[in-house]
């Protein structure tokens, strides 16, 4: 959703949970209005107590604390009533407007969502409901039109041509991590750090990038390299293709 709103890929996407690990700010300028979005880790780990979950919680609540409005984004195909009730009940503690957004509406009919929307509306103080498809660009303009009315007079935080608070080093590091999430299984992608040690624009406008994959367990090395280096080659080629597209 944030990539669709901003118009560029600034936040990685993957089917695995907790893809977003740190809060990323995306900027959308509409005429004289600047809207700033905080893409936070999801809320599915709120009851977890391990160290990784603690870091994710810190990033989630920090983003919520900085925001004026909470977008609670739901996958329409996998929506679970019990889970949603628990999560929204917790979010309401911060006393901010909550807009519930059902994504992937292109894969399900609105009628199937009506009972769930009715239950949520009856049990919680939800500001409004929206149905969208981020990938098909359905309902995004209506959502932006709606929240624009909550804007207030203030100096812009970002310049007119800025779309995120993250630099090129961070974004290419995230693209490599996204590729690793795709090709590597279980806990490995969550236990590596990406270090971009060189990002240089050459005279012919090519970009030279050097990256290090830092692991916290030796046994991961063999898996990441793969047989005869096939896995690391596949990861490099895929992430390089993504980088060249942006």
Please tell me whether residue 214 adopts helix, strand or coil conformation: strand
Mean pLDDT of 212-228: 90
Question: Model confidence at 246, in pLDDT bands (50, 70, 90)?
Answer: confident
> Which of 61, 62, 69, 128 minimizes the C-alpha distance to 97?
69
Q: What distance lies between CA 186 and its chain's CA centroid?
A: 20
pLDDT value, residue 57: 67
Task: Name the average pLDDT for the chain.
Answer: 87
If one counts every other C-beta atom within 10 angstroms of the C-beta of residue 160, the result is 8
Give the tens place of pLDDT for each residue, 235-245: 999 999 988 88
If one counts every other C-beta atom within 10 angstroms of the C-beta of residue 180, the result is 22
Give the tens place of pLDDT for each residue, 189-208: 777 889 998 999 898 888 99
> Which of 209, 220, 202 minimizes the C-alpha distance to 175?
209
Question: Model confidence at 39, in pLDDT bands (50, 70, 90)?
Answer: confident
pLDDT value, residue 192: 83
Give the tens place of pLDDT for each residue, 42-76: 665 555 555 556 666 677 777 888 899 999 999 99
**Across the strands, what pairs with 38?**
25
- The span from the CA of 62 to the CA of 51, in Å, is 17
Whether the CA torsion 136, 139, 145, 150 is positive or negative: it is negative
Give the tens place of pLDDT for each residue, 70-87: 999 999 999 989 989 988
Do residues 80 and 106 lie in contact, with contact meaning Cβ atoms separated by under 8 Å?
no
């Amino acid at each position: 959703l944030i990539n669709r709103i901003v118009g560029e890929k600034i936040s990685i996407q993957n089917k695995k949970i907790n893809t977003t690990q740190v809060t990323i700010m995306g900027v959308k300028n509409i005429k004289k209005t600047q809207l700033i979005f905080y893409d936070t880790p999801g809320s599915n780990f709120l009851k977890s107590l391990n160290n990784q979950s603690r870091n994710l919680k810190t990033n989630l609540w920090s983003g919520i604390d900085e925001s004026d409005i909470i977008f609670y984004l739901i996958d329409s195909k996998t929506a679970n009533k019990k889970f949603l009730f628990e999560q929204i009940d917790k979010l309401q503690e911060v006393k901010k407007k909550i807009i519930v957004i059902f994504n992937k509406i292109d894969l399900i009919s609105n009628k199937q969502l009506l009972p769930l929307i009715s239950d949520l509306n009856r049990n919680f103080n939800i500001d409004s409901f929206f149905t969208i498809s981020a990938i098909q660009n359905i309902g995004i303009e209506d959502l932006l039109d709606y929240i624009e009315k909550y804007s207030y007079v203030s100096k812009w935080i970002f310049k007119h041509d800025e779309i995120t608070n993250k630099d090129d080093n961070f974004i290419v590091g995230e693209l490599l991590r996204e590729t690793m999430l795709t090709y590597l299984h279980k806990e490995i992608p969550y236990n590596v750090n990406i270090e971009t040690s060189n990002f240089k624009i050459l005279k012919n406008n090519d970009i030279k990038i050097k990256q290090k994959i830092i692991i916290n367990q030796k046994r991961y090395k063999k898996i990441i390299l793969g047989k005869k280096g096939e896995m690391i080659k596949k990861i490099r080629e895929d992430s390089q293709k993504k980088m060249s597209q942006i």
